[in-house]
Amino acid sequence: MKLTSVVAQLLLAPLALAVAAPGVGKKISYDGYKVFRISTHHDAAEVKDQLKSLTAVPFNLNADEHLDIAIAPESLDAFNALELDAEILHQDLGADIKEEAKFAPYGGVSANAVPSLTWFNTYHAYADHITFFNDLAGAFPQNSEIFNAGTSVQGRNLFGIHIWGSGGKGSKPAVYFHGTVHAREWITAKVVEYISYQLLTKYSTDTAVKAIVDKYDFYIIPFANPDGFVYTQTNDRLWRKNRMTRSGSSCVGTDINRNWPYKWELTGGASTDKCSETYKGLAAGDTPENKGLVAFTKSLQASKGIKLYIDWHSFGQYILLPYGYDCSARASNHARQTTLATGLANKIRESYGTRFTYGPSCSTLYKTTGSSTDYLTDVAKAELAWTIELRPTGSSSSGFILPAAQILPSSIEQWEGMKYLLATM
């Protein structure tokens, strides 16, 4: 969920020209780009000013202590001449992207067979994700089905898997997950797939899992932004927004997580610049994706209510509680949420020692307006509505390009955390 500031737009300008028009066939190459972490010594504005003439792609320009940025080969000499306090995170971003994209083929399974755990050894093409979910639901027809929560700009279904236990489908409060809201955050789909897999495959053999599934109905949407995700696989690995065009602008895309119809009108947590990575849209909820997701959310609220909503993102290792729109606002059950977040962070850490920071979204990370979690908290009345930012931390060398070897560890630690949270909340 790392963002791009107004200054970052100046840095993005040389690249943005190459990807502005929809349907551009040329794939953006990051060969030779080096990614640096720059210590700002609490003077980020000065560092940004020094960088603004370079051809670069910002990973994070909202932090006060450091900036993460990919520098194009033609700007490396100029960057080095600045003599900033920096360390290298990626020696060659393009090479790391190529390594990540070594997808294993997925041919599906025989009728009613369970997909193999080898699915989680690599990343996969979008079409294979669809097949995986169909296979998973097909293996457990008494406890799951595929549903559709809406349609994307380019006509793709916002599909998900509905999982239920005793009492039949739709009889319990909802646990509701969104993945891949921001297109480049590939690990999020894998993690929600793993959680779905464990809920279904362990239901008949693990009493703790059965108790969880019998208590809630799970609605898990792995790709809230399918067009953007496909675009990261065909054109630009670092694409973030959806693929919506706007009249009078060559810039493409709206940030789905700044377009929800709650506190959208406030300033400081999103951009009105159509070229910005946090562009909020012309009106609250005006993207096709948000229209579908809002309608589906309302249907869950009107049915049995929403117990837990999680908006899965990467990166940074955060558990973010309400609110994003105001750094002093707190949810009415803030103390209880903090207790649960503390327990979740502790449980996640038990698997591999991975540490997650937790706290209110705005005061812990940065201000956001028109976000799903604020909408779910105050409008849809979810008891818990959190953002979880997955691996790696800001100090890791991988950022959005998380190596495939970390898919399973990331998924396992989150599953262990979810078992705690779902049993305790």
Positions marked active-site: 389
Q: Is 326 left (phi over 0), alpha (psi -120 to 50) or beta?
A: beta
Other Cβ atoms less than 10 A from the Cβ of 303: the count is: 14
- Look up residue 323 and give its two tokens: 């609110």
Say how far apart CA 22 and CA 245 lie, in whole Å. 8
Q: Would you say 281 and 294 are in contact if contact means Cβ atoms under 8 Å apart?
A: no
DSSP 393: -
Say how far apart CA 358 and CA 419 lie, in whole Å. 18
Residue in the block written with tokens 């800001």: 394
- Look up residue 41 and give its two tokens: 């010594």
Q: Would you say 322 and 328 are in contact if contact means Cβ atoms under 8 Å apart?
A: no
* HSE of 266, CA atoms in CB hemisphere, 13 A: 17
Say how far apart CA 181 and CA 198 lie, in whole Å. 22
Residues sharing a CB contact under 8 Å with residue 350, sequence separation 6 or more, in sequence order? 416
Strand-pairing partners, residue 106, are none
* HSE of 195, CA atoms in CB hemisphere, 13 A: 34
